[in-house]
Structure 1
């Protein structure tokens, strides 16, 4: 957590000078008060979209399989159609469930960031830096040396393909 926008902007410059690419730096501030050249958090970081997609796919798949099992109870004439109908309804349910819950979840703020909302509402700026695990300590030390009022709020481990 950074105390204000000017310190967040200075931190951005320091991270860029430390050779951390801008695409790995994300800020969240109250009412989008970020300066135009400051990278904001993306949809996946700000909302519960990913969780909603996963939950919707699970519920949709189960619902689809249950609907497909009705086709097994009241079967069509062709036996190959039975299995295709069961698989198709499961897949269709998963897709429909993901789509519907994803649409709803993208408007829900991220539950992982819930603890930071009071400070963000008070004018502070949340900084998210995506770095490999072996760089976390050095980035943290660099930022804490230059910004004594910075508060390290935690570490979240995720796996990226890039």
Structure 2
């Protein structure tokens, strides 16, 4: 299980040095993510992708649940009131419509979520707009204190913004 540590860095030079220090601390590049205002050249830094900067995962999960439930209800109604063969309810149609509803719900909700900024990053919007760079580093639970202390010692100009108790498994 990993924890996500948030840091606000004042400029690109500090971000590049922090990236090097994290690599020297044996944090893999895939676990280091930088977010800056649009147009900032993050060459040499591992920029956060759409999964980390948008609400696509959260929206897809909600769409999956809502679509699946809606499909199950419609399927149950169809099975009872509109049986395909005979007069007995056809419960298979309920399962099929539940799965189809879940897939459609996840797909349609993710289309909305990809254009919505992440609710996890809302509190950093003002700082990012002012030119600061957000660092998100995912570390094993056992190394959180070590990495925090290391970055505080090497980068007093950076600000620790907290640790997220759990990070999504997917992004």
State the 1:146 CA deviation: 1.1
2:9 alignment partner, one of 2, 7, 15: 2
Judge conservation of contact 1:62–1:90 (CA < 8 Å) in 2: yes
Matched positions, count: 161
Distance of aligned partners of 1:74 and 1:134 in 2 relative to their CA distance in 1, 3 Å threshold = same
Computed over aligned residues only, the root mean square deviation of the Cα atoms, in angstroms, reads 1.7
1:86, 1:101 → 2: CA distance?
22
Pick from 105, 123, 127: which aligns with 1:119? 127
Question: 1:31-80 CA distances to partner (integer Å, 9 max, x unpaired)?
Answer: 14142221111222101011101110111011111211221222222578
Q: Which aligned pairs between 1:1-162 and structure 2 lie closer than 5 A?
A: 1-71=8-78, 72-78=80-86, 82-156=90-164, 157-158=166-167, 160=169
Bigger proportion of residues as strand: 2
Q: Which has the higher helix share?
A: 1
Instruction: Provide TM-score, normalisation by structure 2.
Output: 0.88
Distance change (3 Å), C-alpha of 1:159 and 1:94: closer
- What 5-or-longer segments of structure 2 have no aligned partner? 1-7
Query: How far apart in 1 are the matches of 2:48 and 2:119?
Result: 15
Larger displacement relative to structure 2 (71-80 or 12-21):
71-80
Three-state SS of the structure 2 residue aligned to 1:152 is strand
Shift of 1:102: 0.5
- Paired with 2:48 and 2:39, the residues of 1 have a C-alpha distance of 10
Question: Helix, strand or coil for the counterpart of 2:66?
Answer: helix
